[in-house]
Structure 1
Amino acid sequence: MGVISRDKDQINCIYASESDFGKQLEGYLESSGKDILMINLNKTMLTPTQWQDLSIELNIKVKDFIDFSRVENTTEDSNFSTNDYVTILENNPKSFIGAIIINGSKTEHITNVTEVLDYFNIDSAEIKKP
Structure 2
Amino acid sequence: MGVISRDKNQINCIYGNESDFGKQLEGYLKASGKALLMININETMPTPTQWQELAVDLNTEIENFLDFSKIENMNINSQFDANDYLTILENNPKAFLGAIIINGNKTEHITTVTEVLNYFDADSANIKRKTHEENIDINKSNDKDNFI
State if a TM-score over 0.5 links the two structures. yes
Can you give the 5+ residue segments of structure 1 that lack an aligned partner in the other structure?
none
Measured on the aligned residues, the alpha-carbon RMSD in Å equals 1.3
Q: CA deviation at 1:74?
A: 1.4
- Structure 2 length as normaliser, TM-score? 0.82
Distance 1:86 1:103 in 2: 24
**TM-score of the two chains, using structure 1 as the length reference:** 0.93
- 1:13, 1:37 within 8 Å by CA — same for their partners in 2? yes
- If asked which structure has higher relative contact order (CA below 8 Å, sep 6+), I would say 1
TM-fit CA distance, 1:127 = 4.3
Gaps of 5+ in 2: 128-148
Between structure 1 and structure 2, the one with the greater Rg is 2
Q: CA deviation digits over 1:74-99, x for unaligned, max 9?
A: 14322111000000111110000000
1:38 positional shift: 0.3
Matched with 2:8 is 8
Counterpart in 1 of 2:131?
none
Deviations 1:59-85 (A, max 9, x none): 111001001111122143221110000
User: Which structure is higher in helix share?
Assistant: 1
Runs of 4+ in structure 1 off by over 6 angstroms are none
2: CA distance between counterparts of 1:113 and 1:75? 29
Partner SS state of residue 108, structure 1? strand
